[in-house]
């Protein structure tokens, strides 16, 4: 509500009534002031005229036989009653003593006006609020007959004090009363005007303002009073019409909002359904992609391509636990050779924490000092964004970690976290199957004791090398290696020592062959080495180096063997020099090996024609060459 001097009625009073009252008071005050000044001037002039008249009476001739200035005394005595109430008249000696006065009791006394006699002029007059005082010297040439030296100095002083006439005072009082009356009348008019304005203007306006305030606060059902037909009533009626329109519009707005909310809810359900369908589609694609292959590298490549594209993740990596128990980055999107192969310990960085706790770790902003960067212990200063590390867990065993990163801060929603966790579960199951498949293949093609390819893998590899050599006209050499007196080692030290000797000999041979060559366990204590694109002469030199390496290896010392050391015998055969087919090539190498055995062991023998028909082979020392046949032990 308006308060103080802010209402319309008070503004009208301030702008109309108060200025009118002030103007009337100022006019009356000025008129009173001018009348007061005129009254004082008139009193002053009358006092001067009266003083001059009294002075003139002193020049009257005194009749014979009377006291000096007797006519003056008679004249003054005759007019005392007339002048007594309005005038004080004194005749003073030059010394200031009262010689005659309208108040006889003061005759002979010193008059207070004597202080003004120090240097009087021709005439002195002073007027105040209600009276005028005149001091006039008496004496001139006409007085020299009675007063010697009267023309040179005054013989006396006329002191006159004339009061303001009563009519003047009554006029001044009347003007003062008029001033007060104007003030009182103006005040009453202001009060009356204010009261009228309050009842006929301010109160209706307040009621209208109260209705407007409630409407402003949202109460569109309020209505203003509109009983009369004046301007305020018409304003209230217009306001009510406006509120009625607003009420209908508000009702329409409520209906519209309700319809919009329903539509928005349906749209949100539709969007959520579309998101779920997209998520299910992604999961189906991931499952199809994972189940379509058991080869781990191909599977990782498909995941690295599918997940970032479908989920719009610009930075993605797959980490698997390697043989050393460390998290190793296998694949990245986009491909980054610098990052691939990088390793982390369990508990190191965000990925390490995810693997150690077997729980997803989400960091909304890697730039925060409290976060540990998933790729480096020291993150770049400009690096920002959100990162999510989800562990690959299968039957409570951590297989690896999936890392998802976006450059925007806090850019992974709770729904995405749930989806990515589900994807990680599928990837974990697929990785486990691929690892099992890889292990099964490895066990199928690898000798479990020595870790080199077994006989099945050996002949597959040999078949490929023979076909390549026949196509391009190159050489393929094979070395048949047999440990000397292996049965004696088993009988003397036990089969565990024999197995250890097999592993050590295999390690010595494997460390000295090329990556393109194939070292495999042929059977029992025999190994075969396939040398690609190596001539017979070079193959013999390679065999001799391997034989010497076994003899010189300190870890192969054995007291049970002749000479106190494990030795090997090697047979060498080359295609197409010694044979033109795979089976014949193996027979030739086997015959050369037996020739080394017959020659005293611990030697290398290259195949020569006729070795395969030696009498010892006819007595049961020959070796079967069928890949499916079981190997026979040699003495």
Question: What are the residue numbers of the active site?
Answer: 525
- 491: Cα within 13 Å, side-chain hemisphere: 8
**Residue 128's CB: how many other CB atoms inside 10 A?**
10
Q: In what order do the strands lie in the sheet with 131-138?
A: 98-101, 87-92, 156-163, 131-138, 124-127
Alpha-carbon distance of 614 to 626, in angstroms, equals: 20
The distance of Cα 468 from the centroid of its chain, to the nearest Å, equals: 68
3-state secondary structure 100-132: EECCHHHCCCECHHHHHCCCCCCCEEEECCCEE
Buried b / exposed e over 417-452, threshold 16 CB at 10 Å, is eebbeebbebbbbbbbbbbeeeeeeeeebbbeebeb
Residue 156's SS3 state is strand
**Cβ within 8 Å of residue 599, ≥6 positions away:** 605
- 627: Cα within 13 Å, side-chain hemisphere: 13
122 dihedral zone (left: phi>0; alpha: psi -120 to 50; beta): alpha
Q: Are 340 and 403 in contact (CB under 8 A)?
A: no
Q: In what order do the strands lie in the sheet with 604-606?
A: 518-523, 526-532, 476-483, 568-575, 604-606
Q: Choose among 484, 473, 542, 482: nearest CA to 514.
A: 542
Residue 95's SS3 state is coil
The neighbouring-strand residues paired with 427 are: none
Alpha-carbon distance of 318 to 296, in angstroms, equals: 12
Alpha-carbon distance of 207 to 211, in angstroms, equals: 6
DSSP 3-state helix, strand, coil percentages of the chain (rounded to 5)?
A: 55, 15, 30
Report helix angle 70-78 to 18-57, nearest 10: 150
Query: In sequence order, what DSSP letters do the residues of 5-49 get, joined into one string?
Result: T-SHHHHHIIIIIHHHHHHHHHHHHHHHHHHHHHHHHHHHHHHHH
**Residue 455's CB: how many other CB atoms inside 10 A?**
20
- Taking CA 632 as the corner, what is the angle to CA 629 and CA 635, rounded to the nearest 5 degrees? 165
Q: Are 217 and 200 in contact (CB under 8 A)?
A: no
- Taking CA 305 as the corner, what is the angle to CA 303 and CA 311, rounded to the nearest 5 degrees? 85
DSSP, res 563: G
Residues in the chain: 635
In this structure, the strands spanning 604-606 and 568-575 are parallel
Alpha-carbon distance of 458 to 442, in angstroms, equals: 13
């Amino acid at each position: 509500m308006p308060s103080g001097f802010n209402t319309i009625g008070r503004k009208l009073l301030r702008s109309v009534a108060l200025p009118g009252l002030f103007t009337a008071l100022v006019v009356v005050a000025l008129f009173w002031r001018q009348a007061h000044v005129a009254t004082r001037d008139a009193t002053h002039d009358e006092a001067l005229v009266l003083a001059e008249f009294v002075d003139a009476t002193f020049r009257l001739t005194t009749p014979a036989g009377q006291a000096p200035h007797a006519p003056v005394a008679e004249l003054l005595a005759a007019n005392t009653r007339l002048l007594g109430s309005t005038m004080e008249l004194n005749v003073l000696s030059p010394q200031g003593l009262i010689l005659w006065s309208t108040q006889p009791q003061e005759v002979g006394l010193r008059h207070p006006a004597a202080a003004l006699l120090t240097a009087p002029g021709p005439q002195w007059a002073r007027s105040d609020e209600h009276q005028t005082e005149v001091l006039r010297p008496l004496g001139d040439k006409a007085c020299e007959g009675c007063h010697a030296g009267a023309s040179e100095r005054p013989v006396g002083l006329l002191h006159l004090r004339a009061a303001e006439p009563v009519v003047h005072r009554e006029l001044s009082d009347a003007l003062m009363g008029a001033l007060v009356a104007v003030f009182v009348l103006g005040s009453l008019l202001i009060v009356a005007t204010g009261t009228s304005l309050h009842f006929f203007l301010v109160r209706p306006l307040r009621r209208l303002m109260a209705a407007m305030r409630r409407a402003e606060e949202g109460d569109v059902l309020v209505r203003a009073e509109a009983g009369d037909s004046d301007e305020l009533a018409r304003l209230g009626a217009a306001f009510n019409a406006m509120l009625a329109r607003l009420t209908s519009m508000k009702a329409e707005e409520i209906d519209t909002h309700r319809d919009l909310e329903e539509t928005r809810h349906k749209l949100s359900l539709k969007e959520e359904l579309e998101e779920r369908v997209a998520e299910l589609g992604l999961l189906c694609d991931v499952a199809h992609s994972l189940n379509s292959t058991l080869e781990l590298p191909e599977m990782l490549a498909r995941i690295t391509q599918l997940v970032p594209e479908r989920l719009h993740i610009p930075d993605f990596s797959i980490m698997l636990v390697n043989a050393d128990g460390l998290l190793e980055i296998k694949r990245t999107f986009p491909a980054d050779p610098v990052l691939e192969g990088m390793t982390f310990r369990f508990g190191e960085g965000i990925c390490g924490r995810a693997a150690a706790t077997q729980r997803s770790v989400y960091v909304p902003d890697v730039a925060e000092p409290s976060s540990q960067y998933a790729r480096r212990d020291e993150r770049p200063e400009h690096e920002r964004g959100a990162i999510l590390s989800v562990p690959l867990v299968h039957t409570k065993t951590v297989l690896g970690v999936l890392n998802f990163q976006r450059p925007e801060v806090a850019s992974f929603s709770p729904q995405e976290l749930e989806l990515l966790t589900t994807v990680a579960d599928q990837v974990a199951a697929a990785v486990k199957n691929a690892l099992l498949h890889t292990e099964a293949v490895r066990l199928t093609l690898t000798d479990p004791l020595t870790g080199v390819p077994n006989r099945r893998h050996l002949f597959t590899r040999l078949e490929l090398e023979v076909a390549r050599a026949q196509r391009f006209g190159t050489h393929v050499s094979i070395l048949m290696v047999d440990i000397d007196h292996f049965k004696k080692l088993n009988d003397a030290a036990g089969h565990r020592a024999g197995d250890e000797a097999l592993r050590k000999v295999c390690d010595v041979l494997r460390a000295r062959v090329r990556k393109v060559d194939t070292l495999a366990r042929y059977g029992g204590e025999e190994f075969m080495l396939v040398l690609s694109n190596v001539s017979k002469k070079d193959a013999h030199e390679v065999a001799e180096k391997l034989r010497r390496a076994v003899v010189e290896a300190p870890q192969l010392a054995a007291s049970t063997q002749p000479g106190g050391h494990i030795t090997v015998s090697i047979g060498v055969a080359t295609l197409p020099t010694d044979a033109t087919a795979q089976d014949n090539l193996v027979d030739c190498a086997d015959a050369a090996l037996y020739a080394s055995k017959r020659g005293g062991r611990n030697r290398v023998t290259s195949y020569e024609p006729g070795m395969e028909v030696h009498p010892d082979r006819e007595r049961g020392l020959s070796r079967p060459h069928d890949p499916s046949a079981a190997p026979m032990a040699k003495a």
